[in-house]
Structure 1
Amino acid sequence: MNKAPGKTADNPYSPSQLNQLLKNLLENEFDHFWLSGEVAEYYQAASGHQYFLLKDDNASIRCVFFRHNNRSQHPIEIGDQVLMLANTTVYTRRGDLQVNVLRLQPLGTGLLALQFQELRKKLEQIGLFSKEHKKNLPKMVTDLAIVTSRDGAALQDILQVFKKKNPLIKVTLYHSLVQGSEAAQMLIQQLRVADNNQHELIVLSRGGGSIEDLWCFNDENLCMQIFNTVTPIATAIGHQTDTTLADFTADQFFHTPTAAAEALAGDFVIQIQRVHELQRAMQQTIRQLLIDRQQRLDLQQVKLTALHPHVIIEKQNTQILHLRQMLDGLAQKQLKQHQLIQQKLELSLFQQQDFYQASEHRLNRLNQSLHQEITEKLHQTKLLFNSAVIKIEQNSPLKILAQGYSHTKNLKNHQTVTHSKQLKVGSLIETQLKSGKIRSLVKELYEDEDI
């Protein structure tokens, strides 16, 4: 007699036995499999386990995603399209067929969005987006590098704006793929080349597209290259609503290539006017500076001329000539006075002939005495005159210079140097000799010493 459960009415299955049997059969029959669909009737328990229906247009099945299998910890929302690695099982308490989810990831753009957020969080944590690392863009760009596709609309948009608003900007194109699996590496290489060529600014750009089209601009290595580039980098990727990790890493990002060109080109006419204004201001400043320097030079020239040894010597020569004239005048005056006295005496003698005859001898002696006195007076006057002349000549700067002495002045303040304390090491001095001048740089100074 067969006593296996469920084979006879005498030995029926219990609900728990049947559910356990079904559970064992399903788990042994079906290995792990991939399953996709849309999330519906989502519920998360306090334990962290997640329960939901996975459906398509014609059917649905219950799913359980246990907390210990959920490594990503990303929330699931109703309406998400997901891809799951799972196996089948039976919830034995109710006999419900359900799918045990082992791994879950969003499908399509949902998966890319998940990867975008994970990488953004990683790069943000290591400081790639920090404002303190951002470099300032040049206020006026004259030498620009563009890393983009030579066949893309982004390049043409930028060039059209530059042609209209600022044709003087020098643009160097570094061609690269901007879409596909090889694009990120090619962009990195071209950024390195552009950085080595030392442009004022690098613009990384492409036109709009789907998240898949722009995905190369979310490459981690590309972001690291942007961060490590010495040249300031601006990005202009996609449309107004597109944002990539390259935008967050760049020193500045623009929403569109056209917006970047508008901002970088500036207003050419205003820039030219500004250049002309700066040029005029610079010329005026230079003219005023030259006038001031010329006035200072003229003033110093006047001071130098007044203190020049030749001028001083000329003044002394004039004083000597004046003294000689005074001495000559004094001698002539005394001679005339004596001549007048002699004439008066002769006239008196002529009028008094008798007295003259009687006093002729005495007059002769007086005449001799007078003549001798005049001679001695003239001799003494000449001696005094010659002595004065000798003293003047001995005190003349030229005489002193001719004896080997010199006149020294400090070129910084044009003062005559009479003591070493007036100078310091490194002072520039000028020495006037009898013939010629010497300019010297003071290397050592000594206190008063015996000569």
Structure 2
Amino acid sequence: MHGIGKLYQEFEARKQKLEQEGYFALAHKKTKPSWINDIAIITAKEGAALQDVLSTIQKRWPMAKPTLYPALTQGINAPASLIQALKRADQNGHDALLLVRGGGSFEDLFCFNDVELVKTIYGLKTYIVCGTGHEVDTTLAELASDQRVATPTAAAQFVTLDQYDMLNRLSQERAILIQRMQDRLSNAQMHLVNIQSNPYFLDPLQWVEQKKIRLSHALQLLDHTLKRFMDQRAKQLTILAQNLLLYSPQNTIRLKKQTLEQTVLQFIAQMKDYDRTQRNLLSSKEALLDAFSPLKVLARGYSIVEKEGSLVLSVRDVHEDETIDILMGDGKLKAKVFGKEYDNV
């Protein structure tokens, strides 16, 4: 028990140190290849793990090519043997490497915790799957590998296709391809029927004659359109030339001068009409004012009485012995009031 405790301490110390140095980093792990057929197996030649792997490969994907690289998987010499086998397999261009063992005690599996073995796995160029058959404890070799699985059988399953699943997929793909080919053949047949029913293939001479007639009609239409277009352009050019002549600088000045002279004449005529109208209006107003002039009233024998420059409108406005002015048509009388008489109203 004391020996196992020291091994656990050594395991934890190695794990912590290697983890700090980045040997277990996820960023370093390689991606699983899309196609795996050439498989290298690193395990004991006489172990059960080899038989499990080979049996699983044969059941799942018998077309695969497994290659054994025998190595010790237990004991003091196991790490060096595993390192040598891994390096040999890595140089031979396999699609994937399987490092497996069929379980065992912590002491039996401790060779998979070797520091140099971990560094070798870290430096491999080939994708590697590691399964030591121990689900409770994980070895350092498993932590350094690209993919860790629980058992050798699981490792073989992980890197191989299932032939029955592949057969089903192929059957589905085959059905899809057949359907696509049938669709293409159907479309091609329809296209062929359309081509065969084309008038050119039914009667090439008649087709050409029809095309000639259509071409002749199109040429006539083109000539007619072109002639009409040219006639329109000629008319437009004539109008443009007339406008240029009409609106030349000399002609423009002449027209403006004529317009100005006509405007002046119209203005003079309007002023004369206005003057005549105003004179007539003034004469009528003068006659009206003259008709209502006080002098005219006085000329007819009437008079105006004033007292101290104010009109006398009533007998009551003056008193006896007061002096008054009597305005008449031809002059003014100074008078004195000797008495007053009132109308009986």
Q: TM-score, with normalisation over the residues of structure 2?
A: 0.51
What's 1:136 paired with? Answer: 31
TM-aligned CA distance change 1:291 to 1:138, over 3 Å: farther
TM-aligned CA distance change 1:271 to 1:319, over 3 Å: closer
- Between the aligned partners of 1:299 and 1:126, the Cα distance in structure 2 is 73
TM-aligned CA distance change 1:200 to 1:275, over 3 Å: farther
What's 2:147 paired with? Answer: 252
1:325-345, Cα deviation, whole Å (9 max, x unpaired): xxxxxxxxxxxxxxxxxxxxx
TM-aligned CA distance change 1:213 to 1:291, over 3 Å: same
1:215 to 110, 120, 129: 110
- Letter in structure 1 aligned against 2:22: G
What's 1:378 paired with? Answer: none
DSSP 3-state at the match of 1:214: helix
What's 1:121 paired with? Answer: 16
2:74 to 179, 183, 187: 179
1:76-121, Cα deviation, whole Å (9 max, x unpaired): xxxx84xxxxxxxxxxxxxxxxxxxxxxxxxx22222122111111
What's 2:295 paired with? Answer: none
- Between the aligned partners of 1:130 and 1:299, the Cα distance in structure 2 is 65
Task: Indicate if the aligned counterparts of 1:242 and 1:255 stay in contact, CA closer than 8 A.
Answer: no
TM-aligned CA distance change 1:278 to 1:140, over 3 Å: farther
Shift of 1:273: 1.3
User: Within 5 Å, which residues of 2 pair with 1:49-198?
Assistant: 81=2, 108-138=3-33, 141-198=36-93
TM-aligned CA distance change 1:154 to 1:293, over 3 Å: same
DSSP 3-state at the match of 2:108: coil
Shift of 1:262: 4.1
Shift of 1:231: 2.1
DSSP 3-state at the match of 1:109: helix
Task: Indicate if the aligned counterparts of 2:96 and 2:159 stay in contact, CA closer than 8 A.
Answer: no
- Letter in structure 2 aligned against 1:124: E
What's 1:230 paired with? Answer: 125
Shift of 1:153: 1.2
TM-aligned CA distance change 1:252 to 1:316, over 3 Å: closer
- Aligned-CA RMSD value: 4.0
User: Within 5 Å, which residues of 2 pair with 1:427-446?
Assistant: none
TM-aligned CA distance change 1:158 to 1:290, over 3 Å: same
DSSP 3-state at the match of 1:210: coil
- Letter in structure 2 aligned against 1:185: A
TM-aligned CA distance change 1:286 to 1:206, over 3 Å: same
Higher relative contact order (CA 8 A, sep 6+): 2
Shift of 1:263: 4.2
Shift of 1:149: 1.4
The structure in which a higher percent of residues are strand is: 1
TM-aligned CA distance change 1:313 to 1:134, over 3 Å: same
1:299-348, Cα deviation, whole Å (9 max, x unpaired): 89999x89xxx99986687899x9xxxxxxxxxxxxxxxxxxxxxxxxxx
- Letter in structure 2 aligned against 1:212: E
Shift of 1:239: 2.6
What's 1:205 paired with? Answer: 100
Q: Which has the larger radius of gyration?
A: 2
What's 1:428 paired with? Answer: none
TM-aligned CA distance change 1:255 to 1:317, over 3 Å: closer
What's 1:62 paired with? Answer: none
Aligned-pair identity in percent equals 39
TM-aligned CA distance change 1:273 to 1:196, over 3 Å: same
1:203-246, Cα deviation, whole Å (9 max, x unpaired): 10112223332222112222222222222211111332242101
TM-aligned CA distance change 1:312 to 1:181, over 3 Å: same
User: Within 5 Å, which residues of 2 pair with 1:311-322?
Assistant: none
Unmatched 5+ stretches in structure 2: 217-345
Task: Indicate if the aligned counterparts of 2:37 and 2:160 stay in contact, CA closer than 8 A.
Answer: no
What's 2:232 paired with? Answer: none
- Between the aligned partners of 1:246 and 1:235, the Cα distance in structure 2 is 7
Unmatched 5+ stretches in structure 1: 1-79, 82-107, 323-451
What's 1:278 paired with? Answer: 173
Task: Indicate if the aligned counterparts of 1:165 and 1:265 stay in contact, CA closer than 8 A.
Answer: yes
- Letter in structure 2 aligned against 1:269: Y
Task: Indicate if the aligned counterparts of 1:148 and 1:175 stay in contact, CA closer than 8 A.
Answer: yes
DSSP 3-state at the match of 2:74: coil
The structure in which a higher percent of residues are helix is: 2
